[in-house]
A and B are shown apart, each in its own frame.
Chain A
Amino acid sequence: MAGKNCVAIAGDTRFGVRNQTVALDSNRIFKINNRTLFGMTGLNTDILTLRESFKFQMNLYNLEEEREISPKTFAHNVAQTLYSKRFGPYFITPIIAGLEGEDYTPFLCATDLIGAMEFPKSFVVAGTGEESLMGVCETFYKENMEPEELFEVVSQCLLAAVDRDALSGWGSVVHVLTKDGITTKRLRTRKD
């Protein structure tokens, strides 16, 4: 979700195989650089593969370009990587959130599993609970939220949606990205 010169990404930390919970601490939100956060949902093996793949590509980018990648460029990179597997795709739904440019304008991008990007100004959702998430976010979202309020709104949206989704839960983590750094908070969710 985007706020005033800040963005936040929240996700749960359950890793399960259909109805069985396997792990409670699977992290699916990764920091690309000081300005970009990248989250994925879907098949865990693809999440891990792509995390390594993008880490490798970003390291190369940093070495070649001698600067940090901008979130918009990274989003296009993700879309291209996903579309190259158009007929045999990675089963993931990625979300990119970052702060773009000198004035740290919030940038949000979500793509589908084959890289069709959308750039909304307000919020992006993904995962098994995405329909509930979309409903709560649409209700609670306000424009120009400060980081503290953004954290509250994002957390409440995630907790509400996770309560209505059997496959999500067992812990959640919220990252708020501002120009000064990332604040990470872990929340208590239902353990069922």
Chain B
Amino acid sequence: MQKGGFNFDLYQRNVELIEKNNYKVPKTTKTGTTIVGVVFSDGVVLGADTRATSGPIVADPNCEKIHRISDYIWCAGAGTAADTENTTGMISLQLELLSLSTGRSPRVRTALTLLKNFLFRYHGYISAALVLGGVDFTGPHLHMIHPHGSTSTLPYISMGSGSLAAMAVLETGYNSKMGEEDAKSLVHQAILSGILNDLGSGGNVDLCVIKHKSMEFFRNIDTTNSKRKFRKKLPYMFKSGSTKILEKEIKEKMEKMEIVNEKENEIEELEEL
């Protein structure tokens, strides 16, 4: 069994399959995404849309893009869905172990360093663009992390394919003396702008408000974009027997076998020569 880390066993075979045999590789799920973070007077607000795409098809119309790193440190992720999930998961567990061994509650800066070091080691091949926000004992923090491992610390951030649409809203509406309600509404508008104007973003709006020792997660706070207006009222009814069957096999649930009679194995005695 493998020890840990990534396994490159199939890499050579895959290269040959793609180049020589023209194999059509299945698509990875990407989170096209609009993710946004804003610092306000008491804390941080993170926002994200909920669309995950596989090429031009919407693979998941309601996925969760805001991941928990620690109780009061959360991270929104854009890029390849598997990468953002596993990266934030790995750093979350490293941070938990670190905070248990140091006996201190974790800092946002620590999560930042762990994430950027991890991503830099893979030189951008792990395609995870993250907006990391949280409140620790030093106050509220908000950082952006690019897939190659560079970071920035800013009062308001937007990333993902819808970042330009969201940044337009943020630049217009941000002021450094915002309160919680203003910040929430600004993030909401920024994500909505991404959902409406960017094809890679869509679905509902998720919001996460982090203050000192308090975190509120508003999952699907705005679902106006995902309600289908003209749905057929009467569903299609398929009568039983409308599909022709060739063979039918019913397997009953297999229970564990119970031992009824236990006899000790009667070992034949070896004949002594």
Contact = CB atoms under 8 A, between A and B. Distances in A.
B235 A188 contact: no
B250 A181 contact: yes
A112 B253 contact: no
Contacts of A88: 7-14
A101 interface: no
Interface residues of B, number: 51
Interface residues of A, number: 50
Contact of A83 (B29, B86, B240): B86
A114 B28 contact: yes
A159 to B, nearest CB: 7
A170 to B, nearest CB: 13
B243 A159 contact: yes
Interface string A110-140: 1111111110100000000011001000011
B242 A115 contact: no
A90 B52 CA distance: 21
A185 B246 CA distance: 7
A97 to B, nearest CB: 15
B236 interface: yes
Contacts, number: 134
Given A112-B82, A116-B85, A187 B26 contact: no
A34 B125 CA distance: 39
B239 interface: yes
Nearest to B252: A181
Label chain A's interface by main secondary structure.
mixed
A134 B2 CA distance: 36
Contacts of A155: 243
Contacts of A117: 85
10 contacts: A84-B2, A92-B26, A112-B27, A115-B86, A140-B236, A142-B235, A148-B240, A156-B238, A182-B250, A188-B244
| 8 nearest CB pairs, A to B | A88-B11, A116-B81, A116-B82, A152-B238, A118-B60, A155-B243, A88-B10, A186-B247
Interface of B: 2, 6-14, 17, 23, 25-29, 52, 54, 57, 59-60, 62-63, 80-83, 85-86, 125-126, 232, 235-236, 238-240, 242-254
